[in-house]
A and B are shown apart, each in its own frame.
Chain A
Amino acid sequence: MKKSLVFIIGLIMVAVLAMASCQGTSTPQGSQGQTVPAQVTQSTQPAQTTAPETTVQTTTAAVAGPQYGGTFAYAISQDTLGFDEALGVGPWYAHALHLTNEELLQGDWANGPAGTGKYGFQTNSVASVATWAGCIAESWELKGTTSLIFHIRHGIYWQNKPPVNGRELNADDVVFSLKRNFETPGAYLYNTYPKAQRPTSITAPDKWTVVVECPEGQAGELLEACGDVCRIVAPEAISQFGPIKDWRNVIGTGPFLFVDYVPASSMRYARNPNYWATDPLNPTKKLPYVDYVKILVIPDASTSLAALRTGKSDMIGGIGWEERADLRKAKPDLGESMVVAEVPTIIFMRTDKAPFNNIKVRQALAMGLNRKGMVQDYYKGNASLLNFPVANLPDLQGCYTPVDQLPQEAKELFDYNPTKAKQLLADAGYPTGFKASIVIFNAAALMDLFAIVKDDWSKIGVELQLDVREYAVWTAMTNNHNYDSMIYRGMSASIPYKLYSMRPGTTQNISMINDPHINDTYPTLAANYFNQSERDKIMKEVAIYSLKQGWMIQLPATYGYIEWWPWVHNFEGAVAIGRNNQWVFPKYLWVDAQKKAQMTSK
């Protein structure tokens, strides 16, 4: 009896302790949003004849605002890798700096979804030079064909912290940062641009002017690299601390100051009281509006969704259509933006050898796939047929052609026609079909999808074997083009003008394309970097040409969604404001703290 009593008391104590660990639903800690566009790789809008629209729903009447104050919180799935871009392999390496350090240029917020809607700002790409507005650089110009001149803005001050102590930023800081990124072995720009393609010189003729001399034909590329990839750092900070490895040594000119970092858990920023910028949509209002930004590192998707539901997260990005349906049933008053897929699923094939070097075989494979059926039956209408080699983004409508407007030769490749497919195979010398294999990595969604592909192709005589590999192995195979037959990969279509997937010698030319028309056209395309209308015209033609060739077969790309609570204003789903500005958007938005308290107390 006594023992039972002790045992029961022990159980009660454990239960009480467990309940005590349940913290109440007080003011939400923050918000989460997996804003990395790469997570919405399978999302696209339906094939449309007009520019895709973002669907935004808010539930309350407009609040007289913007209001200052409050905390905006969201989640990402991966921690920052570091605090110094010169140490990182990729521009996303030090994403913790996006709120503290700025670039010369940035996407034009006034023309984003919160403004005119001209640009979607859903993917980290820049369709044209007009997408940019000045940031640290008030303006820029191209002199001749090789000289980029950036005019540095007055009145931008570094954070008031030793050793920089709040002094004004000048051109020497910009020169230092650009040179560092191009000249430090292992830095992203150093790795990305071979010596022959780097600036020949970067100088500051005076305190407010930076001149970047470019090799012939490289002005466009280097405008992007210098203007919208490289973040500006303080020379004194690097001189004193060396490469920045400690978050406490981060010093910037950005809208927020880094105030706390718990590795692999959270980052916290406070408003920079000395920030220079005003709201492009409310020019009398200084930015930023929110007092704090909290970024939670939440690797698990269910936990991320739970954080949004409970208001610990103010937004979430990149959720699929299935999760979206459940979420909106529970929280119908969330704001929403449908995300266009940046990285659709592509089947690549060895076009340098039989049987894929025969256009009839490639066309047969395309026609033998019931992609419209996949959209309707597998994705329940929540997918898009065509998002490659040009993404169906508002920014790219100048060179995008919807399926129904394609020439017949290209359009018919999207229709399921197994009879014609078999005929094409027979004409190509494969009357009984052939065997092929495709390398994919071990994700459940891919296995499902390619089981459908396998089934469709079996009906036209193509026996497909799925070669499933571990992720890193698959990555190595795509990177090295080390596959025998076919391979899957998601590939970005938001920077179509560079023809990465079609030019010989590029890592993204996984189908081993070496086409004279593409090879002849690319220099003209590149030379028209600053002539957008001509650039779009050429790209449109190239895109249609490549579709007809069937070198790469795009599978339907599912929609993704960004959802946010109605207390978040001035956001409208703009998560990537330029080429390397995925986490900059908190600087523009504001939070209705009263509404947040009301809604989260229910």
Chain B
Amino acid sequence: MTSYIVRRLALIIPTLLVVTIIVFGTFRMVPGSVIDLMASDLGSQSGQSLQEAISTIKTTLGLDVPIHVQYARWISGIVRGNLGTTLWSQNSVSQELARKLPISFELGLMALIIGTAVAIPIGIYSAMRQDTIGDYAGRSVAIIALSVPNFWIATMVIVFPSIWWNWTPRLDYIPFSKDPLGNLLQFVIPAAIMGLHMSGGIMRMTRTMMLEVLRQDYIRTAWSKGLKERVVVMRHALRNALIPIVTQIGMRVPTLIAGAVIMEQIFCLPGVGRYLVTAIGQRDYPIVSGINMVLASFILLINLTVDLTYAYLDPRIQYR
């Protein structure tokens, strides 16, 4: 097992190298460069021919050298833990991400906890009470959670209470260090919306896998031994049903973190999702490259964690 883990960790390096080349190269090939955007901003205020200014901007931003030189500079920075400097605000990308990633991570983690806490019990209940009213209700909830867009729910949560009850959630971010409880409470609503949306798929997967497992011979044996329902479900059935569920949860984690743009936008949370979308629109290459690097690393580690979880859940799985 140890050698497996070491090998997997070692494989992350060449994988990330390929990721850096793809991310670095493709984004710079997108039409409409940062120089065009900056020149447009300047031109709207001055009307002058901006060739001299454009040349200065390119030099200041380090964009006047060939792309492979830019890549080499960037990679050498990464090795030293420096993700570069943002093009528009001249700030350290590492520092910006250090500020924003925890916010997105907190939102994603809370959404995951809420989503899982809601989905798995309901999924188990639906499976145990198949074809009863409870099962239909559970499945309906799952379908509604899957089909109603979370951005719609978020907008309704913001708009209607402001009209009916003169209320909105807190609209300025409360750092955890300043007020931990306030910070957590601020995240509950957006996390609940995200979590509930995510729970639909997990609920259905849980129900399906539980039904499959509950039909197995060893479960029939467990029942016939007179074991309590709780023991049969939790100790025998659920553990074997969890592997695909864990896979599904693992696949959603990166999306929760990087894909929370809309929640961050609507609830005014300064996370990395919103930051990334703005950077893409502004063609801020170091930010996009840096975030992609960090997220790629994170996804690789998550995948490794999920794979290792299989071994825990199913002793028959052994890694060498």
Contacts and interface: CB of A to CB of B under 8 A. Distances in A.
A89 B88 contact: yes
B175 A475 contact: no
A169 to B, nearest CB: 26
Contacts, number: 218
A507 B47 contact: yes
B46 interface: yes
B185 interface: yes
B50 A507 contact: yes
B40 A479 contact: yes
Interface string B47-68: 1111011001101100000000
Contact of A310 (B52, B162, B267): B162
A14 B192 CA distance: 9
A125 to B, nearest CB: 10
Given A243-B90, A299-B274, A479-B43, A310 B167 contact: yes
Given A302-B159, A479-B39, A498-B47, A29 B121 contact: no
B72 interface: no
A296 B168 CA distance: 14
Interface residues of A, number: 82
Nearest to A22: B167
A351 B271 CA distance: 46
B216 interface: no
B47 A503 contact: yes
B114 to A, nearest CB: 7
Given A18-B192, A89-B42, A186-B60, A194 B52 contact: yes
A297 B265 CA distance: 10
Interface stretch (B10-18, B30-38, B306-314): B30-38
A87 B121 contact: no
B57 A507 contact: no
Contact of A297 (B165, B167, B268): B268
Interface in B125-182: 125, 155, 158-159, 162-163, 165-173, 175
Contact of A89 (B41, B125, B173): B41
A190 B90 CA distance: 17
Interface in B179-203: 185-186, 188-189, 192
B191 to A, nearest CB: 10
Contact of B53 (A192, A245, A262, A508): A192
B36 A480 contact: yes
Interface of B: 30-33, 36-50, 52-53, 56-57, 59-60, 88-91, 96, 99-100, 114, 117-118, 121-122, 125, 155, 158-159, 162-163, 165-173, 175, 185-186, 188-189, 192, 229-230, 265-270, 274-275, 281-283
30 contacts: A20-B188, A21-B189, A25-B165, A75-B171, A82-B89, A87-B90, A89-B38, A89-B42, A90-B45, A185-B56, A188-B42, A191-B56, A192-B48, A194-B52, A265-B172, A266-B172, A266-B173, A300-B158, A300-B265, A302-B158, A303-B168, A303-B267, A312-B168, A472-B32, A473-B32, A475-B40, A479-B43, A505-B49, A507-B50, A508-B47
A575 B163 CA distance: 27
Contact of A7 (B33, B121, B171, B268): B121
Contacts of A298: 171, 268
A496 B185 CA distance: 51
B159 A306 contact: yes
Given A309-B166, A507-B43, A82 B173 contact: no
A18 B270 contact: no
B166 A25 contact: yes
Given A265-B173, A266-B173, A479-B36, A21 B166 contact: no
Given A194-B48, A263-B270, A265-B268, A14 B32 contact: no
Contacts of A193: 46, 48
A300 B266 contact: yes
Contacts of B52: 194-195
A21 B47 contact: no
A10 interface: yes
B86 to A, nearest CB: 9
Contacts of A263: 96, 99-100, 270
Contacts of A245: 90-91
A339 to B, nearest CB: 18
A141 to B, nearest CB: 25
A506 interface: yes
Nearest to B173: A265
Contacts of A508: 43-44, 47
A476 interface: yes
A507 to B, nearest CB: 3
A81 interface: yes
